[in-house]
Amino acid sequence: MKRFLYFVLVLLCFASLTTAGESLLAIKDTVRSTSQDTVPVRRLSLQTLPVPLEPSEAVGEQTYGVVTLSVASIRTQGRYPAEMATQALLGTPVRIIERHDGWLRVQTPDNYTGYTKSGNVTEMNAATFTAWTDAPKIIFLAHHGFAYSRADRKSPPVSDLVAGNMLRLEGKKGAFYRVSYPDGRTAFVLKAEAQPIDEWLKRIDLTAESILATSQSFMGVPYLWGGTSSKAMDCSGLVKTVFFLHGLILQRDASQQCVTGEQIDITNGYGNLRPGDLLFFGKSRDRIRHVGIYMGNDEFIHEATQVKVGSLNPSAPNYDALNASEFVRACRIIGAREWPGISTIKNNPYYQNTWNKQ
């Protein structure tokens, strides 16, 4: 009898464990199979774009700053291991919102906010910032280069430079511009690699041909999460950089860029697209994960591992199946410069210092 009862007890225990195990597996499968699309999503619109912030009173009078490195990393938190959210180029004006243990919380001309080391930015009060913004400047236009310590390419560099860097113009010497940095350093930049900003702005040709030529000049540039320079960039960083080199300041992220400009109807395919339009990819119109620039003939240029050209055409050798299957919206920036969320260097409050000129 004891043996029989023991046998029954063993069977009951086994049955209980089996049932429990099946329950646990059922729970795990439920979690694993839960679609991300069932999570509530914020509808993307102009109202979801970032807005200007006011500096903390603890910041004091130095609520302005200008980036002093060729490329300054801006992170989600004030510590080095934190995710890099974006980058800002030499000469970029910023507002200083807070200070934390050697880190500055800054807001950039696209209203993006993050943390950068205090040494990456020269802090300024209103008077110093006004003097900087009012001064004539040059913009560096080569993808990579140097500012030299003397008017001689063989002299030691003062720093490296990337496309879009801006420096104060102090004079000229032979084949060089004499320039100064926000932190007071002086240097010489080759005239062949830069232009006075006022002259450059007058010569900008905002056409599809120019946008695509600039985009293709970055072919092969490696991918970097948060990158916005000709050294390395992410997908929206490529778009932002290309249009910045045409005098426009776009939103930082693809999920922000997609709500600006003229919205294009793509319900019937690619027929309404024009070269230079922005293409957005994701699970839905409100779940944007990627952006590229349309080139025509079903092709687009984008940053994915490196800057390259993909196709929406299944028969093309460079067919991008994933992005073709998740092409969900498009917008047109060319001709839409006065739309909300888009500004120009000529009218952006950071570059024009509208706070101190009212």
* Active-site position among 235, 246, 258, 331: 235
CA-based radius of gyration for the chain: 26
Residues 211, 349: Cα–Cα separation, whole Å? 24
Residue 129's φ and ψ, nearest 5 degrees, are -65, -40
**Exposed, middle or buried by CB within 10 Å (0-12, 13-18, 19+), for 322?**
exposed
Q: How far is it, in rounded angstroms, from Cα 148 to Cα 190?
A: 9
Angle at 144 between CA 143 and CA 145, to 5 degrees: 135
Residue 302 is among the residues annotated as catalytic for this protein:
yes
| Burial track 206-234 (b if 16+ CB lie within 10 A, e otherwise) | bebebbbebbeebeebebbebbbbbbbbb
Residue pair 298/311 in contact (Cβ under 8 Å)? The answer is: yes
Residue carrying structure tokens 């300024």: 124
Reference 313, options 348, 347, 270; nearest CA is: 270
143 carries an active-site annotation:
no
Dist. CA 65–CA 8, nearest whole Å: 79
Q: Give residue for tokens 């309404």.
A: 272
Q: Which residue has the tokens 């946008």?
A: 211
Among the options 246, 258, 302, 331, which is catalytic? 302
User: 212 near 275, Cβ under 8 Å?
Assistant: yes
Query: Is residue 331 among the annotated active site residues?
Result: no
Q: What is the DSSP letter of 275?
A: T
Interacting residues of 314 by C-beta distance below 8 A, sequence separation 6+: 321, 324
- Name the residues annotated as catalytic: 235, 290, 302
